Amino acid sequence: MPFINSQTNKADNIPIIPLQKKKTIFNTFKRDYQLWLLILPAIVCVIIFNYIPMYGIQLAFREYDFTAGLTGGEWVGLKYFEQFINSHMFIDLLKNTVVLSLTTILIGFPAPIILALLINQIRWKRGKKILQTTVYLPHFISIVVLVGLLNVLLSPNTGILGLLVNKLGFEDLNLLASTKSFVPVYVLSDVWQHVGWNSIIYLAALSSVDPQLYDAAKIDGANRWQIIRNVEIPAIIPTIIILLILNMGHIISTGFEKIFLMQNSLNLPVSEVIETYVYKIGIISNQFSYAAAIGLFNTLINFTLLLLMNYIAKRTSKISLW
Amino acid sequence: MKKKKLLSLLLTTCLATTTLVACSDKTSKEPEKTEDGRVVLTGLITKHPLTKDVNKMEWLEEAEKRAGVDIKWEEVSADWDQKKGAMLAGGDIPDIIVGPNAITDADFSKFKGLFEDLTPLIEEHAPNVQKMFDEKSELKVISTQLNGEIYGLPKYQRYWPNTGTRQFINQQWLDNLGLKQPTNWDELYEVLKAFKEEDANGNGDPNDEIPMDFAPVGTGGFGFFQPTVLLGSTGMTIVGGGGQGYFAEDGEVKNFFVDDRYKQVVTFLNKLYKEKLISAEAFTQDYTKYQSVARGEGETATVGYTYGWELTDRFGNELAPQYASIAPLKVDASSTVQPSWTYDYNVLNYGVNMVQMSSKTKNKDAAMKFINELYDPKVSMQVLFGSLGTNIKDNGDDTYTVLPPEDEKMDPGTWKWTSTWADNGPLYISDSLKLTLGTDMQSVGKQTEALQSALDAVDTENDVLPDTFLKYTEEDNNAMSLVNTELMNLAMANFSKWVTKGGIDKEWDAYVEKMNQIGLPGNLEITQKYYDDYKSKME
C-alpha cells in the first residue's frame, strides 16, 4: 500500500528511496512498448523520407555525373564549399538571408503571443470566437495567391494600399520595387498571414492556467496588466521557449516560394537569399553538386544555431528540447 | 489480445511496403501496340499556354497514322525549367520530347546516355531530315554536337523578319498634339513629355496617359520588347533583345553591360523615369498586365510609346490603327552613327533541339519515322500554321494560303497559337514553298519596313553573334553559366536601380570592376573562341 506508506513516511520524515531500475533505452522499450508502437509509423516515415535521402548529401562533395548516378561521381572534397564561400555573391546572400529571417523572428515571433494574451482578455465569448476565426483564416491562403494579393493591393497606380501610401505623401513609393520596403512588406504580410494560426498554441497553454491563480491574484488586488504579467506570461513561458528553439532550427531557411514570387529586378539586391540562389544554380543551370553544397552549408548553420539556442535555454531557464 | 494487435500492425506495415514496391515495377520488354498495329509511344511537348489540346490537331493525328505510331502526349505549358530538372535527374523520360530548346546542349552533356544519337537513324529512316540537311547545311552544323553526334533536330521557318521587336508610337496622339514622329532621343523626350502633360488621348483626363512602357525586365537578362533596343541608336547590334549582354562588333565578342554606350542608354532612361515618362509599374508588372494596359479601354488608348511584336497583337484589333511603327532613333540630331536594331533573324527562324528521342525508346525506327513526318514539307507547314482546311487553304496548284481566323474577333496571331504547335514545333519550311501568309505575318512585314534600312545595314557576319548556334563543351558551359548567373544578379539589379533612381555616373567604375572580377573577361574569351570556330565552319 504505497499510499499509506508515503503518508506515514512524511510524518516520520524518513525518505523512502523507491527501487528503480536504471533507465536505459532498452528497458524503456520493454516497459513502454505500447507507446513505441504508437509512434512507430512516424519513426518509419522520418527514416524513409528524412534519413534515407540523406545519402544524397555526398553529392556536395562529388562531381555529379549522371551516368554514374548520385553516388558515382568523382570525389572533389570541399571544392564546392570553397567555391561558394569565395563567390562574389556569398556576403550578400548571407546578409540578405540573415536579415530577412532575423526580422521575421523578431517581429513574427512575439506577435502571436501578444495576440493570444489579448484574445484571452476578451470576456464576450462569441466575439472572442469570431475574432479568433477571422485572424486565423489568412493562414489558409496559398502563397501564390497571397503574393498575387500583394501585387494587386500594393500596385502604385491601381492598388488600394499603394494609392493610400502615395496619398500620405510618400510620393511614388512602389512598395513592391524598393530595396527598403521589401523586408517590411515580406515580414508584415507574413505576420498578417500566420499570427492567428500561431496564437492557437499559446491560447491552449493559457487555457490550462489554474483558475485559482486568477482568483488569488484578484483577491490580492491585481489589475489586468498585473494578471497578464504575473499569472499568464509565466504560464506560457515553457511553450514560448520551446517554440523559439524550434524556430531557431530553421532561422536561415527563409520560405523559398514567397521570396521567389516577390522577387523582381529592383528588389533583387535584398531579395536574393541562399535558397533562391540554390534554385537558380541548381535547377536552372543544372549545377547539382554546387547547389547541394550550398544547401548543406545552409543546413549546417541552422543546426548550429539550434544547438546554441537549446544550450542557452537550458543554462538560463532549464527548459530545453533535450 | 496483444498478439492480435501486433499481427494487425505487422500486416499494415507489409501492405504499405508492398504498395511502395509495386509502384516501381512496370517494365516490360515488348513495345506496346494499338489494336490496328500502331506502335504506342509516349511524347512530351512544351507548348504555349493558349495552344489547344494536341490530340485535337488533325494534322498530328494524320502524321502519326502515316508513321504507324500512336503517341500519348503529355503537354507542358508552364514551369518547364523546374519540371525538366527533376525529370532528367530521375532518368525517366518520354520517348519523344518536343519544344524549342526544351532540352539544351548542356542537358545532353550533363545527362549522358539519356538521349539517342540520331545520326544512323536519320540515314535509314528520315529522308525528309536528310533533305533538309542537304538543302541548308547550317541546319546540320547547328544540330551536330562537338563529338559529331546529333541528339536534337532543328527548325527553320523562313518567313520570320529580321527582328522580334518593333517600336510603336501612338500616331493619333501625335496628331492630336500637332507633333511629328520622333527621330532621335531628344525628340522622343519632347514627345513623351507632351504625352504626359497634355490630354493626348482626348478623354478629358490629362493624367491617365502612360507615355512609355516596356515589357517586364527579368532578373536573368533582357529579352524582346525591352528598351535595350535603344542600344541600336549607338550603332550596336544586339541579339534576341539583349539576353545576357553578349554581342559581336567587327568580329569581336563584347558585352554591353560594361560598355559606355549602355551607360548612355541607361542615363537616358533614367532621365525619362525621373520625369515620370516611363510607367511606374514597368519593373513590377507581369507580362499579362503589360499586355492588357496597352489594350486600353474601348477606344481610349493609354500608352504612347512602347515595344511589341505586331500591332494587333500588342494593342488589340480596336486600338491597333492608332499606332505606327517607327524607325530606329538616333542619339541626337547631329549624330552620324548608323543606327542599328536588335537582329533576331537567327533566333526567330532557326531553332535548335526542337525534338529529341530517348535512348530507352523501344521502337526507335517507328519514333524516327514519326519525327521524319514532321519535316515533310506539307506537315511542317501545318505544324506552323495549323491544319489544311481549317487554317490553311490548298489552292490546288501547289500554292497555299493561310486563312483568316474563324472567330472574327480573334487576331490571326492568337488564332495560330491556339490551333497548332506554331513556332514551338520542329519544322522545315523550304525556301521553295509557295505560301501566302496571313494578315498578321504580312503586317509584321509591313511594320518591319521602318526598321528595314537599319537592319539591312547590319554586317551579319561580323556584327551579329550567332548565339543560338554555338556549341560549348560541358566544362565551358558550366563555367560560363555560373559566372553568368552572378553577372546577371549584379547587372539586372543595377539596371533597374539606375533607371529608377539614377547614380550610374558615380557607381559605374566600381560596377565595371566588379563585373570583371566576377569573370566577364573569361566568358568573353570562351565565347570568342567558339564564335571564331563557328565562322570557320560556315565558310
Residues of chain A with C-beta less than 8 angstroms from the C-beta of B110? 66, 286
Q: What is the model's pLDDT at position A14?
A: 61
B15 touches chain A (CB under 8 A): no
**Contact check, Cβ <8 Å, A265/B493:** yes
Q: Give the 3-state secondary structure of residue B317.
A: helix
Residues 317 to 356 of B: which have CB under 8 A from any A CB? none
B82 touches chain A (CB under 8 A): yes
Q: How much of chain B, in percent, has pLDDT values that exceed 90?
A: 59
Of the candidates B110, B286, B485, which has its C-beta nearest A66's C-beta? B110
* Backbone angles phi and psi of A88, in degrees to 5: -70, -20
Give the single-character DSSP code of A282: I
Q: What is the model's pLDDT at position A19?
A: 60
A155 touches chain B (CB under 8 A): yes
Q: Give the 3-state secondary structure of residue A272.
A: coil
- Three cell numbers, residue B70: 500512336
Q: What is the model's pLDDT at position A5?
A: 46
Please give the Cα distance from B158 to B182 (Å, whole number). 32
Residue of chain A nearest B479, judged by CA positions? A287
**Mean pLDDT of the A142-163 span:** 85
The pLDDT tens digits for B2-58 are 455 555 555 455 444 444 444 444 444 556 777 788 899 999 999 988 889 999 999
pLDDT at residue B458 greater than cutoff 60:
yes
Q: How many CB atoms lie within 10 A of CB A142?
A: 9
Give the Cα-Cα-Cα angle B294, B296, B300 (nearest 5 degrees). Answer: 125
Residue in B468, B463, B519 with CA at minimum distance from that of residue B491: B519
A286 touches chain B (CB under 8 A): yes
Q: What is the model's pLDDT at position B438?
A: 86
The pLDDT tens digits for B505-523 are 999 999 999 999 999 999 9
Q: B165 with B455: CB under 8 angstroms?
A: no
Residue of chain B nearest A87, judged by CA positions? B518
pLDDT at residue A214 greater than cutoff 50:
yes
Q: A143 with A261: CB under 8 angstroms?
A: yes
Q: B371 with B96: CB under 8 angstroms?
A: yes
Q: How many CB atoms lie within 10 A of CB B32?
A: 14
Question: Mean pLDDT across chain A, nearest whole number?
Answer: 84
For residue B184, the Cα-to-chain-centroid distance in whole angstroms is: 29
Residue in A292, A294, A249, A246 with CA at minimum distance from that of residue A273: A294
**Minimal C-alpha gap between A230 and chain B (Å):** 48
Q: What is the model's pLDDT at position B20?
A: 45
**Minimal C-alpha gap between A270 and chain B (Å):** 10
pLDDT at residue B107 greater than cutoff 90:
no
The pLDDT tens digits for A2-37 are 444 444 444 456 666 666 666 677 777 888 888 989
**Mean pLDDT of the A149-178 span:** 79
**Contact check, Cβ <8 Å, B281/A283:** no
Of the candidates B89, B276, B280, which has its C-beta nearest A174's C-beta? B280
Residue with more model confidence, B403 or B538: B403
**Contact check, Cβ <8 Å, B85/A266:** no
Tell which of A266, A288, A290 to mutate to test the B interface (max B CBs under 10 Å).
Answer: A266
Helix (H) or strand (E) run with residue B496 in it: helix B474-501
Specify burial of residue B289 (Cβ count, 10 A radius: 0-12, 13-18, 19+).
middle
Give the single-character DSSP code of B215: P
Task: Look up cell 548542356; give the residue.
Answer: B106
pLDDT at residue B123 greater than cutoff 70:
yes
A166 touches chain B (CB under 8 A): no
**Minimal C-alpha gap between A51 and chain B (Å):** 17
Specify burial of residue B397 (Cβ count, 10 A radius: 0-12, 13-18, 19+).
exposed
A283 touches chain B (CB under 8 A): yes
Q: How far, CA to CA in Å, does B408 sit from each of B405, B412, B446?
A: 6, 9, 22
Of the candidates A66, A265, A284, which has its C-beta nearest B495's C-beta? A265
A198 touches chain B (CB under 8 A): no
Specify burial of residue B529 (Cβ count, 10 A radius: 0-12, 13-18, 19+).
middle
Is residue B539 very low, low, confident or very high in pLDDT (cuts 50, 70, 90)? Answer: low
Please give the Cα distance from A35 to A47 (Å, whole number). 18
**Minimal C-alpha gap between B274 and chain A (Å):** 11
**Contact check, Cβ <8 Å, A266/B276:** no
Specify burial of residue B4 (Cβ count, 10 A radius: 0-12, 13-18, 19+).
exposed
Residue of chain A nearest B514, judged by CA positions? A88
Q: How much of chain B, in percent, has pLDDT values that exceed 70?
A: 94
Question: Mean pLDDT across chain B, nearest whole number?
Answer: 88
Q: B138 with B539: CB under 8 angstroms?
A: no
**Contact check, Cβ <8 Å, A269/B493:** yes
**Contact check, Cβ <8 Å, A66/B281:** no
Of the candidates B219, B220, B485, which has its C-beta nearest A281's C-beta? B485
pLDDT at residue A172 greater than cutoff 70:
no
Q: What is the model's pLDDT at position A249?
A: 73
